[in-house]
Amino acid sequence: MKIALMMENSQAAKNATVWQALQEVAQPLGHQVFNVGMSDEQDHHLTYIHLGIMASVLLNSRAVDFVVAGCGTGQGALMSLNLHPGVVCGYCIDPADAYLFAQINNGNALALPFAKGFGWGAELNLRFIFEKAFTGEKGLGYPPERKEPQVRNAGILNQVKAALLREDYLGSLRALDPELVKTALSGPRLQQCLYEHGENHQIVQFVRETTGK
């Protein structure tokens, strides 16, 4: 699995802590991890709105399989990511959230509150969250006897979202403010991840044309 971590301006100072916890869990499991958002407060400036665009491009191009995002409360990132087709983002405060989201909703992104409750032992909570998110088989249901309706409902929800977002994906990006999209997609680490691993060449070409790189 390829996993992208993306953080915005208000919580960029915590990137090293989150990045280390994610690597400690993901790498022994054989997952690749990419730090594509802000790595510190002086880095390429991003808001949670940019994170939604970034996540959608990486997931829809199949450059990555999963996105870990967030902001101060996690709510802005949650709403921003879920605006986009091909992104199913859950809200995660503790390890139980990560486990239940993986088993019941089986989505491809998490939004974490990197300011709320981020105190003593925060790195332990992050590590436990990532262990529940990325260890073992997903979509098994919880409790197990509820698997069939939960899988069915998750599929129906994805169909509803696809039906409501009928415009083609690149058309939806072109309808946004060009500067907003350019800022979201101009980060060098995001571009490296996309250009090296993206499988949808139309999306890759769109990013090259938008950013001039």
Amino acid 168: pLDDT: 86
Bridge partner list, 109: 67, 89
Amino acid 73: pLDDT: 97
Bridge partner list, 91: 111
Spacing of C-alpha 72 from chain mean position = 15
Length of the chain: 213
The pTM for the full model equals 0.94
Two structure tokens written together for 45: 């400036």
* Beta-carbon count within 10 A of 167 CB: 11
How do 109-113 and 32-35 pair as beta strands? unpaired
The full set of domain ranges for the chain reads 2-211
| Topology classification of domain 2-211 | Ribose 5-phosphate Isomerase B; Chain: A, (3.40.1400)
Instruction: Say which amino acid occupies 152.
Output: R
Which of 59, 82, 73 shows the shortest CA–CA distance to 193?
A: 59
| Ordered per-residue pLDDT tens for the chain, 213 residues | 999 999 999 999 999 999 999 999 999 999 999 999 999 999 999 999 999 999 999 999 999 999 999 999 999 999 999 999 999 999 999 999 999 999 999 999 999 999 998 888 999 999 999 999 999 899 999 999 999 999 999 999 988 888 878 778 899 899 999 999 999 999 999 999 999 999 999 999 999 999 997
Instruction: Say which amino acid occupies 97.
Output: D
